[in-house]
Structure 1
Amino acid sequence: MDDAQEAILYRHAMPMFLWKTLQWLNVGREKKLLQAWKTTDAYFGNCITLRRESLCKGVDTTDMLSMYIKSEHESCKNDMFVRDAIVNMFTAGRDTIASGLIWFLWLVTKTPRVEAKILEELKLVAKMEDPKIKCVFNSDDLKGLVYLHASLNESLRLCPPLPLNSKGVIKEDVLPDGSVVKPGMQIILSFYSEGKMPWIWGEDSLEFKLERWIDHEGKIGYELMSKFFAFNVGPRTCFGKDIIYTDELCSCRYTL
Structure 2
Amino acid sequence: MEDYAAKMQAKSLAELHQYVSGYAQYRDAAVLAALAELRRRGQPAPEEDDLRPGLETAVAQQRTEDDAAEVVRRREAPFDPDTAEGPELFSPGTIVLFSLMFSMLAGGVLLGTNLFRLRRTQALAGLVAFMVGCLLAGGFALRWAAAAANPTALLLVPVVVNVVALAAFFLWFWPRYVGTEPYRSRSWLLPFLLFMAVVLVLRSFLPMLKDERGAPLIPGSAPALPSAAPGPPAAPTKSV
TM-score computed with the length of structure 2 as normaliser: 0.21
TM-score computed with the length of structure 1 as normaliser: 0.20
Larger Rg: 2
